[in-house]
Amino acid sequence: MKRERKLRVGIIGTGGISRGQHIPGWQAVSGAEIVAVCDINEAAAKKAGADFNVPNVFTDFKDLVGMKAIDVVDVCTPNKVHTPAVLAALNAGKHVICEKPLAVTVKEIKQMAAAAKRKRRKLMTAQHMRFGGLSQALKKFVDGGEVGEPYHAVVHALRRNTLPAWGGFIDKDLSGGGPCMDIGVHALDLCMWLMGCPKPVRISGSAKVNFAKGYDIPGGWGEWDRKRFSVEDWAAGFVVFDTGATLSLESSWLGHHEAKGDMSCLIYGKKATLQYPSGKYATHKNGAFLTGVIEPAPEKKRAHAAEIEAFFQCVVDGKPSPVPVEETMRVIAVLEGIYQSEQTGREVRVRL
């Protein structure tokens, strides 16, 4: 469909991910234009407006979502600001793409889903890992039936010493959680998406601070305020899905891992096992064991830019959101369940 005018985009939050990925991502979409930016930090907002040639600059997101001309709002603030910003934008009739985690509780995600439905607007979580060439190829492999029914998965989102020391990551009031919410959400979303997004029904987990209050491991991304550190630096969880499949997750910002980073998943299916990011699979045919490697699909754009392009297309074509809110709800139910299990000392039952 040929549009008469460009889709007009307003960006809330002009920090690292916004300047590094979202703003360039939108600027690479020929049918879209960024017409407004907003940041609570006036200097940051003004700098983004000047650097990226954006005409309207705000410090209060209510002013941005109040702009009639805006069609799409892109939320790139600390996690705890996602819910008020997303709800304000949806209620003002905007389509919304929002950084991960969409929210840190299922309750908030239900509110967003209801607002999107009521206003008939698209809502997408920016889970960029789904849009990489390898992820796309693995999804095709699974959907083609090559892995069979998944019965277990192992998810790692582990960093040796890269704790995000800046902004709102280490402050629970701004982030709602540590590595579990910050990077666990990436690897878990990818794995559950590959598994067909089963519904979690039982979760047990643990979330602890092992290193971040002390000085045992030097920060690869700079020093952090030990007093302000109010989230976990390590989390582990065990999930049972409605399909009977199970999953274990481990997530850290600090720890004595051999590798600097391990963002991976391993899916055990009744026909094959499949690994990300090696692309390796193991199966057997006609009595012989086979291993192989899946090649990434060709990428027209890198994952972050591809995710923005996909959201643009769904808005323009009136197609379903590329990352449906119902799928995000299941992912967040797992992460929230890990924290609840830590607090209660019990397995958590999930009803979505």
Ligand X SMILES: NC(=O)c1ccc[n+]([C@@H]2O[C@H](COP(=O)([O-])OP(=O)(O)OC[C@H]3O[C@@H](n4cnc5c(N)ncnc54)[C@H](O)[C@@H]3O)[C@@H](O)[C@H]2O)c1
Q: Coil, strand, or helix at residue 176?
A: coil
Residue 42 binds ligand X, judged by CB under 6 A:
no
Give 168's Cβ-side CA count (13 Å radius).
17
Residue 178 binds ligand X, judged by CB under 6 A:
no
Q: Which CB, 16 or 93, lies closer to ligand X?
A: 16
Q: Two tokens at 340?
A: 């609840």
Relative to beta strand 95-99, strand 72-75 is parallel
According to the 3-state scheme, what is the secondary structure of 14-49? Answer: CCHHHHHHHHHHHHCCCCEEEEEEECCCHHHHHHHH
Q: Which CB, 201 or 332, lies closer to ligand X?
A: 332
Among 7, 38, 332, 338, binds ligand X (CB under 6 A): 38
Residue 261 binds ligand X, judged by CB under 6 A:
no
Angle at 338 between CA 177 and CA 149, to 5 degrees: 120
Q: What type of residue is 173?
A: D
Q: Contact at 8 Å (CB) between 294 and 14?
A: no
Distances (CA, A) of 1 to 309, 313, 326: 15, 10, 28
Relative to beta strand 272-276, strand 280-285 is antiparallel
The nearest distance, CB 146 to ligand X, in angstroms, is 28
The nearest distance, CB 147 to ligand X, in angstroms, is 26
The nearest distance, CB 273 to ligand X, in angstroms, is 27
User: Which of the residues 92 through 111 are near ligand X (CB under 6 A)?
Assistant: 99-100
Q: Contact at 8 Å (CB) between 200 and 241?
A: yes
Among 10, 25, 29, 39, binds ligand X (CB under 6 A): 39
Q: Work out the burial of residue 349: count CB atoms within 10 Å of its CB; fewer than 13 is exposed, 13-18 middle, 19 or more buried.
A: exposed
Give the x-and-dash track for 60-79 against ligand X (CB under 6 A).
-x--------------xxxx
Q: Which CB, 265 or 348, lies closer to ligand X?
A: 265
The nearest distance, CB 180 to ligand X, in angstroms, is 12
**Eight-class DSSP state of 161:** B
Q: Which residue's Cβ has the minimum distance to ligand X?
A: 15
Give the x-and-dash track for 182-201 against ligand X (CB under 6 A).
x-------------------
Preceding amide of 164 cis, omega within 30? no
Residue 250 binds ligand X, judged by CB under 6 A:
no
Residue 233 binds ligand X, judged by CB under 6 A:
no
Give the x-and-dash track for 264-303 against ligand X (CB under 6 A).
----------------------------------------
Among 70, 73, 81, 249, binds ligand X (CB under 6 A): 81
Q: Coil, strand, or helix at residue 220?
A: coil
C-alpha 176/C-alpha 207 separation (Å) is 13
The nearest distance, CB 77 to ligand X, in angstroms, is 4
Angle at 118 between CA 63 and CA 57, to 5 degrees: 15
The nearest distance, CB 194 to ligand X, in angstroms, is 18
Q: Which CB, 14 or 135, lies closer to ligand X?
A: 14
Q: Taking contact as CB under 6 A, which single stretch among the options 39-47, 137-145, 153-161, 248-256 is the one that binds ligand X?
A: 39-47
Residue 135 binds ligand X, judged by CB under 6 A:
no
Q: Which CB, 216 or 223, lies closer to ligand X?
A: 223
The Cβ of residue 222 has, within 10 Å, a number of other Cβ atoms equal to 11
The nearest distance, CB 38 to ligand X, in angstroms, is 5
Q: By CB under 6 A, how many residues form the interface with ligand X? A: 26
C-alpha 48/C-alpha 123 separation (Å) is 24
Residues making contact with ligand X (CB under 6 A): 12-18, 38-41, 44, 61, 76-79, 81, 99-100, 126, 128, 166-168, 182
